[in-house]
Structure 1
């Protein structure tokens, strides 16, 4: 007997969550003229690109995309961004990742951006798991999910149909 994937979010649901997150980000930044959308490399960056595209459809805010490269196995190693520090100094930033699991990737990403003064800093994730080791939360989330420590959330945003599933 073959095991089937335990689907958390379908393609249509993911698209809906992305639109809703974009609207929430817009509501929190309605008075801003510029916003930095920083996506953690791979799925976080793909999610950031999709959120940016939705924001540009619903608002006049100038959105700048930033790729954030963090070694998830060793998050204390230097973090690289596609923007220079002066490009996001005194700006509003939203840091985006696909899944908030232990919180280590997000908290080290936040720490990196706090080296300069910012107007506002928020975080967004598609799937928020409730197993955090660090005191970090997602300001905008697609879905919150309680899972066991042995389960893993997979998110596919690189090809259609998009999907999120548990294994």
Structure 2
């Protein structure tokens, strides 16, 4: 039996979700002057860049982009970021990934940032799969999806048209 590609989100829908998440981030940080938008490599970082672009259009909050490198197959390995701890200490942070599946990547990413005092910490994902093994949630999400464990969500944000599909 051949696998078929089932579209979850089209290009236009992804752009709409990005804009909506940016507005939600702005609303929860309206009193802040600085915010760190941290994206988990690769797709999470691409999504973070797109959200930051929208946030910069709609608000006067100074936003800083941060790349978070996590080994998704072994998330307990050391995590690195493109900015120093001093750059995000006492700031509001939003950690972004494309898909929240088991929660392991997101929870280890959160743990990394908790080594310094923060004003606020939120998470955002484009697709929330509802298969969490860890007590982590997405504060901002594009879409929630109940899928079987055998299905896989693919998100393409690196070239247009953007798409999210299930196979």
Q: TM-score, normalised by structure 2?
A: 0.98
1:152 matched to 2:152? The reply is yes
CA distance in 2, matches of 1:107, 1:76: 10
- What does residue 117 of structure 1 align with? 117
- What does residue 108 of structure 2 align with? 108
1:19 matched to 2:29? The reply is no
Cα deviation code 1:4-27 (max 9, x no counterpart): 410000000000000000000000
Cα deviation code 1:118-158 (max 9, x no counterpart): 00000000000010000000000000000000000000000
CA distance in 1, matches of 2:46, 2:141: 15
CA distance in 2, matches of 1:125, 1:43: 10
Secondary structure of 1:149 counterpart: coil
1:10 matched to 2:10? The reply is yes
Please state how far the C-alpha of 1:3 moved relative to its aligned partner. Answer: 5.0
CA distance in 1, matches of 2:15, 2:88: 28
CA distance in 2, matches of 1:4, 1:122: 35
Q: How many residues are treated as equivalent by the alignment?
A: 167
Provide runs of 4+ in structure 1 moved above 3 Å. Answer: 1-4
Cα deviation code 1:65-93 (max 9, x no counterpart): 00000000000000000010000000000
CA distance in 2, matches of 1:124, 1:91: 17
Q: Alignment RMSD, CA only? A: 1.0
CA distance in 1, matches of 2:123, 2:79: 17
1:132 matched to 2:110? The reply is no
CA distance in 2, matches of 1:54, 1:79: 27
CA distance in 1, matches of 2:42, 2:138: 18
Aligned pairs for 1:11-160 within 5 A:
11-160=11-160
Please state how far the C-alpha of 1:2 moved relative to its aligned partner. Answer: 6.4
